[in-house]
Each structure stands twice: as structure tokens, then as C-alpha cells.
Amino acid sequence: MSLLTRPLPTVDAYVAHFSTQTLPVLRRTARAIDALRAEIDTVSSKKIAAVVLGDPLMTMKLLTYLETHRGSAQNHDITTIDRAVMMLGLGPFFSVFANMPTVEDTLAAHPKALLGVLKVMTRARRAAAFARDWAIIRHDLDVEEVTVAALLSEAAEIVCWVFAPVLTQQVYALQLADRSLRSVTAQRGVFGTTAHDIQLALIQAWHLPGLLVQLLDETQAEHPRVRTITLAANFARHLARGWDDAALPDDIDAIQALLRINRETLLRRLGAPDEVVPRFLPPEAPAQG
């Protein structure tokens, strides 16, 4: 596995390099799949899907494999993990995804990068959980599609942490030195491009389902499903800094506008601690005298 230590000239060059690498998965994912392999006669696709959805890299790995090995019987995109496992079949699934490299081994010489990617993956799982809940509230036609797209909302940053740990640490160092520096500015300064541009190119090059490309395209931000994913990713990113993050009030205003539910109900669903709730409530109207 070749880890980048210098920037590449174009987005296409990054995609070409990343595409020659084998995506690793979390060690716990590899172990869980090995354990389920022993239960192949009784295990359900939903149980396997739950393991896959706990790991954004494994999710990418499965969907990419399925899309690049489409059979003649597959005449539509597979956009959920449960369907992906059923389409592939249990036997082939366990055969294809055996002896997978792990993130922990890949980044053994880069402990700060390992910590960085684990934090981003945690953030992606949190975004997926929020998006799933909001899709349910919105009575979305396919909650699982929205969940998967939100889980992949951090795909490019995860891939960059894994395959370009030195460069990605430089991005974070720039932002640590200048708290006002925007992510896209820091990314352009180090990579010569942005994570968003790499992400859109990656999901197209890796043949991820077209609907997921649409759901992850922020230029369609006014579409309710896209807005759900964008807000979930932003909220999870800001929340990772703590409930005192300055961006959260605007995030919560936007989430409430999307879901159209009572403010206190929303704050409970978001898991806001009791002590921070007053900060996010509108000021009480003065008493009439």
C-alpha cells in the first residue's frame, strides 16, 4: 500500500492513485465479519448490514465492489447495504471480503492519523444516525438510502486520512494554527484541491450508485433529501467540538426549518444536555403589563 507524502497535480491524479489502493476496514469490522462467517447457515443479511454500516470504509468497499461487478440480472442501482448483501449473496460476500487489510495496520506508523480517521468515522456514523432520524420524521420514501449517503458524507476525508496521512495532518495543523482558516482554504493549500471536489470525483469513478452521487451533491442543497444529509454532516462536525460551538444555533435553526417540529422536541431528539437547552430556545416574550 502506497501512502502519499506529496500533493498530486489534479483531482484526477488523486482519484487514480486512491483507486489503485485496497481500501482497509476497521479491525473490529474485519473481526465481526469473520465471526459472522462461522454463522453463515443462520446469519441474516440485516445482521451483516449492521456491521457494514458501522464502518464507512466497509460501506464504500461493498457498494464499490457490487457496482463494478454488476451482473446481467442487476438492472438498477443498489443504494442500501441490506439490498447489497442480498444481491451479492452470503457465500460470495464472505468469500470476497475475507482477509481484509485494516486501518489500524495501515496507519501503524502514523498514530496521529489513526486517531484523526477514527474521529472522522465517528462523526460520519453520528451524521448517519441524525440523517436517519430526520428522514423518518420527514416520512422519506427510503430512509436507508439517506442513511448510507450521510455515512459516506465524509468519504473523501476518510480516504485522505488513510492514504495521505502526512498531507491530511498538514491541513489540520494549518487550521489549528489559524482558527479562522476555512477547511477548503487549508485543503487547497496542501492538496491543491478540496475534499469536496475529490469526493465527487471518487464516488463517480468508483461507480457508487447514481442516487448517492445526487444525495451528496451540495449544489442540489434545496432538495429535502440532500438538505437532510448536508445538515446532518454539518451538525455532526460542529457538535464534535462541543455544545458550545458557535455554529450550532444556526444549524439547529436550519434543522427545525427542515423538520418543522417543536424546538424543545427537536433538542431532545438531538440529545442536547439539559444545561445547554436554554441557549437554543428563543427568548421569552416580555410579560404584558
Q: Inform me whether the pLDDT recorded for 287 exceeds 50.
A: no
Q: How far apart are CA 72 and CA 57, in angstroms?
A: 27
Closest CA to 147 of 133, 163, 160: 133
Mean pLDDT of the chain: 90
Q: What are phi and psi of 183, to 5 degrees?
A: -55, -45
> pLDDT tier at 203 (50, 70, 90 boundaries)?
confident
Classified as helix, coil or strand, 102 is: strand
Of 94-108, 128-142, 174-188, 196-210, the poorest mean pLDDT is in 196-210
Q: How far apart are CA 23 and CA 27, in angstroms?
A: 12
Instruction: For residue 271, give every residue at least 6 positions away whose Cβ sits within 8 Å of its Cβ, in sequence order, or none.
Output: none
Q: Inform me whether the pLDDT recorded for 285 exceeds 50.
A: no
Give the tens place of pLDDT for each residue, 136-194.
Answer: 999 999 999 999 999 998 899 999 999 999 999 999 999 889 988 888 999 999 999 99
**Cα–Cα distances in angstroms (integers) from residue 7 to residues 10, 11, 169, in the given order:** 9, 10, 13
The residue among 235 and 203 whose pLDDT is bigger is 235
Percent of the chain scoring above 90 in pLDDT = 73
> pLDDT tier at 264 (50, 70, 90 boundaries)?
very high
Q: What is the DSSP letter of 54?
A: T
Q: How far apart are CA 124 and CA 118, in angstroms?
A: 10
Q: What is the pLDDT of residue 71?
A: 61
Q: Inform me whether the pLDDT recorded for 286 exceeds 50.
A: no
The residue among 80 and 21 whose pLDDT is bigger is 21
> pLDDT tier at 269 (50, 70, 90 boundaries)?
very high
Q: What is the pLDDT of residue 126?
A: 97
Please report the domains of the chain, with CATH numbers, ordered by start residue. Answer: 21-103 (no CATH), 108-276 (1.10.3210.10)
Give the tens place of pLDDT for each residue, 57-67.
Answer: 999 999 989 88
> pLDDT tier at 76 (50, 70, 90 boundaries)?
low
Q: What is the pLDDT of residue 90?
A: 93
Here the cell at position 237 is 462536525
Q: How far apart are CA 32 and CA 47, in angstroms?
A: 10
Here the cell at position 56 is 464507512
Q: What is the pLDDT of residue 267?
A: 96
